[in-house]
A = this chain, B = another copy of it.
Amino acid sequence: MPDVEDTLTNALRRRIIDGEFAPGTRLSEISLAEKLGVSRNTLREAFRVLSEQGLVEHVPHRGVSVASPTVADVVDIYRARRYVETAALAAGSPLHPAVTAMREAVEQSETSLEARDWRTLGTANMAFHDAIVALADSPRLERLFRDIAAELRLAFLEIDNPEALHAPFVTRNRALLETFLEHGGPAAAAELQDYLVLSERTVLGAFTRLRHG
């Protein structure tokens, strides 16, 4: 949670994640600076930060565009997720404060599913995995996860079928939480492994369907 004060970067970040600028969109320095009411220099500094975070792509002399994850990116993101999340869960303690966040996220996702509110469902789903990573108490792993989760949201934006992406995993979230509490980290980690493989397959399926037909 570094720099809540970092207004411009965070504002841009939120707008990109919320889909205000579609993946692949070119972000012109001049027009965007004017639109946001900041100078080009200030905007360029924000661009550098977002570029390091993988949210925008910066090509010298060609400007920045909103990142548009490829299939390879999605594969890599899920590989990293499997490494980080399963390790965090396997070594996590059921007494860790993050468990509360996990429970709240599960309940929120169930509520959202019932209301068919796919937007908040997606957020709750991600909050669940965020809580899993928080079990590790590692700022650096949390930061990695924050960045790849943001990238993944961009991929979700392109697919634009949130129900298929998130709805099937609500019951799995609940089941995973119960496994963790009743049978411990290693058992839950094994379950999470399958969970993530399935999730990856879902995303990749929608992705290739999108690109080919």
Does any Cβ of B come within 8 Å of A49's Cβ?
Answer: yes
Does any Cβ of B come within 8 Å of A205's Cβ?
Answer: no
Shortest A119–chain B CB gap in Å is 26
Contact, CB under 8 Å: B84 / A83: yes
Does any Cβ of B come within 8 Å of A31's Cβ?
Answer: no
| Chain B residue at minimum C-beta to C-beta distance from A6 | B60
Partner among B45, B76, B83, B139 whose Cβ is within 8 Å of the Cβ of A83? B83
* Residues of chain A from 55 to 84 with CB closer than 8 A to chain B in the complex: 60, 76-77, 79-80, 83-84
Contact, CB under 8 Å: B76 / A139: yes
Shortest A109–chain B CB gap in Å is 26
What 0/1 readout, one digit per residue, does chain A (1-25) give for beta carbons within 8 Å of chain B? 0010100000000000000000000
Give A contacts to B, CB under 8 Å: 3, 5, 41, 44-45, 48-49, 51-54, 60, 76-77, 79-80, 83-84, 87-88, 136-141, 144, 147-148
